[in-house]
């Protein structure tokens, strides 16, 4: 497969790139900082400098044209302002939806967050973050794309356990970023998660068995 990853220098994205490259996929990584080019090349991805907050939709579309799937793994990150939750986590993700539709990239997998199913109404940064995630998810789910929304619990930087739990109802646990990458790899290479919102946490099952259990 030819897969475009937005936010390709992020922690989940880099784990995912290495998994995809190891299985023979082609990865293009959208980054905003040209200083990250060498890291992406070392991971085996083709870097494409494309800032999702400032690029217009046709530019993003050009960056992903011909891909079989896009993954939104970008984020304004901890410590960022409420405004950037809107310009990045909401509008950047939605721009990628528009771009995928514009050039016929059929599949879109979103890294969202638990809590986006019922975002709080407040104006605190974390409230706005969840509102932004919710709006991005809703825009994707309304699109004609073959979508999957993954909503991890709290992310950790521990090594992969290879054991997760996937739920179709909200579940708040924690999960390693590397295990989230493993779930992304799995859902990208099959159709079972298309049209699904899956809550991703550490658990007892390998990703394949966890997906079977969640969608049966
Ligand atoms: N933290 C949690 O517990 C938690 C829980 C659930 C879900 N999530 C979500 O999981 C996702 C991935 O998490 P992660 O920890 O792997 O992310 P991360 O390491 O923070 O990486 C996010 C990436 O997005 C990039 N980015 C920021 N603004 C951009 C822009 N305008 N254009 C293009 N790329 C841009 C960043 O690039 P720069 O390096 O240039 O800034 C960074 O490489 C995020 O959407 C996050 O919100 C987090």
What is the C-alpha to C-alpha distance for residues 63 and 54, in angstroms, rounded to an integer?
A: 14
C-alpha of residue 76 to centroid of ligand 1, in Å: 6
- Residue 2's Cβ-count burial label (10 Å; 0-12, 13-18, 19+) is middle
Distance 9 CA to ligand 1 centre (A): 8
pLDDT for 141-176, tens place per residue?
Answer: 999 999 999 999 999 999 999 999 999 999 999 999
pLDDT digits (tens, 9 = 90+) for 119-144: 999 999 999 999 999 999 999 999 99
Which residues lie across from 107 on neighbouring strands?
Answer: 69, 146
Q: Which domain holds residue 11?
A: 2-215
E-strand stretches of the chain? 2-6, 26-31, 46-49, 69-72, 107-111, 146-152, 154-156, 164-167, 174-176, 196-202
Phi, psi of 199, rounded to the nearest 5 degrees: -90, 130
Dist. CA 157–CA 202, nearest whole Å: 12
Q: What's the CA gap between 202 and 163, in Å, rounded? A: 6
Q: Of all residues in the chain, what percent are helix, strand and coil, respectively (each to 5)?
A: 40, 25, 35
> Using CA atoms, how far apart are residues 61 and 51, in angstroms rounded to an integer?
12
The pLDDT tens digits for 50-82 are 999 999 999 999 999 999 999 999 999 999 999
pTM for the model: 0.98
| Centroid of chain to Cα 107 | 12
Distance 216 CA to ligand 1 centre (A): 31
Mean pLDDT score of the chain: 98
CATH code of the domain in which 160 resides? 3.40.50.720
What are the pocket residues of ligand 1 if the criterion is a CB atom closer than 6 Å to any ligand atom? 7, 9-13, 30, 32-33, 51-53, 73-77, 88, 92, 111, 113, 152, 154-155, 177
Number of domains in the chain: 1
Q: Which atom of ligand 1 is nearest to the CA of 53?
A: 31
């Amino acid at each position: 497969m030819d897969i475009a990853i937005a936010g390709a220098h992020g922690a989940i994205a880099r784990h995912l790139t290495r998994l995809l490259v190891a299985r023979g996929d082609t990865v293009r990584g959208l980054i905003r900082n040209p200083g990250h080019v060498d890291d992406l090349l070392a991971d085996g991805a083709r870097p494409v400098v494309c800032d999702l907050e400032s690029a217009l939709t046709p530019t993003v579309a050009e960056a992903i044209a011909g891909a079989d799937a896009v993954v939104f793994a970008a984020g304004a990150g901890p410590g960022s302002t409420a405004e950037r939750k809107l310009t990045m986590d909401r509008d950047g993700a939605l721009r990628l939806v528009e771009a995928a539709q514009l050039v016929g990239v059929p599949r879109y997998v979103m890294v969202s967050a638990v809590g986006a199913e019922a975002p709080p109404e407040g104006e605190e940064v974390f409230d706005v973050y969840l509102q932004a995630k919710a709006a991005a998810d809703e825009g994707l789910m309304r699109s004609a794309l073959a979508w999957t929304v993954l909503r991890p619990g709290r992310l950790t930087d521990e090594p992969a356990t290879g054991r997760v739990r996937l739920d179709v109802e909200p579940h708040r646990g924690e999960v390693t970023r590397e295990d989230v990458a493993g779930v992304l790899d799995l859902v990208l290479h099959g159709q079972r998660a298309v049209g699904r919102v899956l809550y991703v946490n550490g658990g007892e099952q390998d990703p394949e068995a966890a997906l079977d259990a969640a969608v049966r």
